[in-house]
Structure 1
Amino acid sequence: MEQLELIAIFLFILFLLLGTGVWVGLALLGVAFVGMELFTSRPVGDAMITTIWSASSSWTLTALPLFIWMGEILFRTRLSQDMFKGLTPWMAGLPGGLIHTNIVGCTVFAAVSGSSAATLTTVGKMSIPELRKRNYPEHMIIGTLAGAATLGLMIPPSLTLIVYGVTINESISKLFIAGVLPGLVLAGMFMTYVAVYSKVSSKYNPDPEPKTNFFEKIGNSRFLIPVICLIAVVIGSMYLGFATATEAAAFGVIGALVLAAGQKSLNWSTFTESLMGATRTSAMIALILAGAAFLSLAMGFTGLPRALAEWIAGMELTRFELLMALLVFYIILGCFLDGISSVVLTMAVVEPMIRQAGIDVIWFGIFIVVVVEMAQITPPIGFNLFVLQGMTRHEMSYIAKAAIPMFFIMVVMVFVLIFVPELATYLPENMNTRPGSG
């Protein structure tokens, strides 16, 4: 059978299942099952059981529920209010004022969360009422929050990078460290946009903040110390080679529990809610990964990934042309699927292409996360847009329009990564690693 016909059948079954409301993980399992049943002579049941068990029992994958749990614990503490108190005196004097608390707050919380939705919800609950009270432009409040919350996917610990690393069997620690500099650069680009807009727009007239001296700023900074210490423990232990990603996640959970206990916001209800929230999210992602692993196996048996890689190679695209094609592909895909699903669904086909083109897989992990971030703020399935709609009660069209500048800044970031690849590769190439530091 022609490879194009095979692709058409796979896609038809996939979109049929997704269109009927079947969970993404089950849809992937269904496509793989039908594909193996129709186009191979392998025993489907045995292959499915073995693949699902292998995908679910990976030691590296242990980091995923631990980082999710850490974020859930912090989400239920007073961390966000304290963080706003600590950031406000420093941000007030910058061009653009307290809008920067959205960006810096998301950057800080992303370093202890790993989830775009958790980052958006936590920082949004903190900042939206305060910024509205101070008469900041509504579209800037919403736009910067939508864009900056996507940093939860890049700045370690990132759930998307864990999933990517597990899918292509690459070091999670190296991927985490690779995301640090690009994440900070992207946050800087968001802040530059806010500063420029505040100077050129006549509608940017927030209420002035009361003046604070240097010692008052230092005094308020004590609210930031707990979260900065937690970030230092989690990221520093990996970068210095003291801990693998999984061990760093365990340190993070212990640190989050200690932090919550210190704030007197840790009780049995908070503990069980955080545990159940982490369990639900982890189970959802694990099912998607199991489905993707079985789909990868099924596609491997049909020879589809190899044929596609050979077809791409035959087109003799340059690396830049291949990356542009993948950029457009993932932006379109992101309009219909969430980020993690996009990554696991396509890696079986994309990984051979990028390896054959000589593209560094660590660098490509950061590239794909930036592109997946765009999908979080593009309709109709942009997850951050849904979260913001629930928080602000605005029309989806208004929120999407407010997020457009952030989308284009991310496009610029993609080109920055392409032309300055060292942003993503310098730290991983120079970090200390331990054996098995996945």
Structure 2
Amino acid sequence: MDLITIAGLILVVLLVLLGSGVWIAVGLLACGWVGMQFTNAPSSGYVLATTIWGNSASWTLAALPLFIWMGEILFRTRLSEEMFRGLAPWLNWLPGRLIHVNVLACGIFGSVSGSSAATCATVAKIALPELKKRGYDEMVSLGSLAGAGTLGILIPPSIMMVIYAVAADVSIIQVFLAGFIPGAIVMGLYSGYIAVWALLNPGKMPPREPAMPFREKLRESAHLIPCMLLILLVFATLVAGWATATECAAWGVMGSLAIAAWSRSLTWQSFWASVMGATRVTCMIMMILAGASFMSTAMAYTGIPNALASWVDSFHLSPFVLIMALMVMYVLLGTALDGISMIVLTTAVVLPMVSAAGFDLVWFGIFLVLVVEMAEVSPPVGFNLFVLQTMSGKDSLTVARAALPFFFLLVAAVVIITVFPATVTWLPRLVFPS
């Protein structure tokens, strides 16, 4: 049987399984098993066992459950409320005023969460009622939260970055560092859009709130100190080389427990809930990684990835055209798959093409995260849209329409990092000169 027929059969099996509601991890394992039947490799069971063990028994992956647990602990504290109180007094002078809190709060919480859905839900829980009570336009409030919530996977530490670094066999620390400047660019694009919208629609803005004395502003901002110290602790030890990514994640857990205790949110119930939440998410991710690693190995045995890379290479696409084609492909995949599945399912096929085109793999990791962010705000499976639909009580079409401008801002961010790749690679190369 030729490779095209084998690839088509595997794709049909995958689509049927995913469409029937089978777990993604099980679907990937089944597709890998089907692929192995058309090779001369050792027994499928032997390859399954060695592949899953080899890809799971990784010290690098130990950072994953720790970063997830850190986010789960902070999710159950009063961090979002304290961030709103600490940021709001300083933003009255900006066009758009308190709507900018959504962007800044998501940026701060994203840097200690690592999860898009957790960031969106945590900030929305306090920001949506506050903005509605003060008379801000609901569509812009929803859209800014949908877009800014994606910062949870772009601003390090990010679960998605850890998974990509493991899949692509690149340095986690370098991928983390590469995310800072693009994260700042995305936040700047969001805030710029909000400011322009506010200037064009002054009638939709509530009256300006009374000015607050400088000392009172400082008192309110004191609530941000524990969170900022935690961020500095994690990244100072990481960049200075005092600890590995896994050790930094452990420090992050200790710091988040300290913040929860300091804010008097640490109870036995909240502690146990954070442990169970982190366990569920970690098990889900590890199952998907196991299924994807087996499928990737099976695909390697069949020779499909190399054949596909050669086929694409035969078109002699320019690097920019290739990147734009990949962006469209990932956005389409995002309508049916979550971000983690997109990364682990495609890296074996896509990375050889990207490397052959001359792109830096650390740069491509940030590109991939940005495109996954687009998927987070794209119907029908955008996780952030689901979160905001639940939090606001609005229908999915309304939330998707509110998020549309921020989707196009993410497209602009991809264009910026593609035209100016140094925005991604400068900081990692500065810290780790080759």
Bin for the TM-score computed over the shorter chain: over 0.9
User: 1:37 and 1:3 mapped to 2: Cα distance?
Assistant: 13
Q: Secondary structure at the match of 1:85?
A: helix
Cα deviation digits, residues 349-390 of structure 1 (max 9, x gap): 001111111110000000011011000011111111111111
> Which residue matches 1:327?
327
> Which residue matches 2:148?
148
Q: How do residues 163-312 of structure 1 correspond to structure 2 at under 5 angstroms? A: 163-312=163-312
User: 1:175 and 1:230 mapped to 2: Cα distance?
Assistant: 20
Q: How do residues 91-102 of structure 1 correspond to structure 2 at under 5 angstroms? A: 91-102=91-102
User: 1:204 and 1:73 mapped to 2: Cα distance?
Assistant: 37
Shift of 1:56: 1.4
User: 2:93 and 2:274 mapped to 1: Cα distance?
Assistant: 36
Cα deviation digits, residues 236-287 of structure 1 (max 9, x gap): 2212222211111011000001111111111111111000000000000000
User: 2:133 and 2:176 mapped to 1: Cα distance?
Assistant: 37
> Which residue matches 1:436?
none
User: 1:203 and 1:119 mapped to 2: Cα distance?
Assistant: 30
> Which residue matches 1:51?
51
> Conserved in 1, the CA contact under 8 Å of 2:389 and 2:399?
yes
Q: How do residues 20-39 of structure 1 correspond to structure 2 at under 5 angstroms? A: 20-39=20-39
Q: Secondary structure at the match of 1:224?
A: helix
User: 1:372 and 1:182 mapped to 2: Cα distance?
Assistant: 14
User: 1:78 and 1:100 mapped to 2: Cα distance?
Assistant: 20
User: 1:224 and 1:202 mapped to 2: Cα distance?
Assistant: 30
> Which residue matches 2:62?
62
Cα deviation digits, residues 305-333 of structure 1 (max 9, x gap): 11111112221111111101101100111
User: 1:131 and 1:59 mapped to 2: Cα distance?
Assistant: 43
> Which residue matches 2:113?
113
Shift of 1:203: 4.0
Aligned residue identity for 2:425: T
User: 2:391 and 2:142 mapped to 1: Cα distance?
Assistant: 10
Q: Which runs of 4+ in 1 moved over 6 A?
A: none
Shift of 1:202: 4.4
- My pick for the range that moved more, 74-83 or 190-199, is 74-83
Query: Which consecutive unaligned segments of at least 5 residues does structure 1 have?
Result: 434-438
> Conserved in 1, the CA contact under 8 Å of 2:234 and 2:249?
yes
User: 1:315 and 1:2 mapped to 2: Cα distance?
Assistant: 21
Shift of 1:81: 1.1
Q: How do residues 342-381 of structure 1 correspond to structure 2 at under 5 angstroms? A: 342-381=342-381
Provide the aligned C-alpha RMSD in A.
1.1
- My pick for the range that moved more, 79-88 or 399-408, is 79-88
Aligned residue identity for 2:132: R
Normalised TM-score (structure 2) = 0.98
User: 1:206 and 1:22 mapped to 2: Cα distance?
Assistant: 48
Q: How do residues 70-85 of structure 1 correspond to structure 2 at under 5 angstroms? A: 70-85=70-85
> Which residue matches 1:122?
122
Q: Secondary structure at the match of 1:38?
A: coil
User: 1:235 and 1:326 mapped to 2: Cα distance?
Assistant: 31
Cα deviation digits, residues 211-233 of structure 1 (max 9, x gap): 11322212211010000000111
User: 2:368 and 2:432 mapped to 1: Cα distance?
Assistant: 25
> Conserved in 2, the CA contact under 8 Å of 1:239 and 1:432?
no
Normalised TM-score (structure 1) = 0.97
Q: Does residue 18 of structure 1 match 2:18?
A: yes
Q: Secondary structure at the match of 2:150?
A: helix
Cα deviation digits, residues 15-61 of structure 1 (max 9, x gap): 11101111111110110011102344420001101111112111100
Q: How do residues 311-322 of structure 1 correspond to structure 2 at under 5 angstroms? A: 311-322=311-322
User: 1:160 and 1:345 mapped to 2: Cα distance?
Assistant: 13
User: 2:425 and 2:220 mapped to 1: Cα distance?
Assistant: 36
Aligned residue identity for 1:282: T
> Which residue matches 2:3?
3
Cα deviation digits, residues 118-176 of structure 1 (max 9, x gap): 10111000100000001000101100000000011110011111110111111111101
Shift of 1:91: 1.7
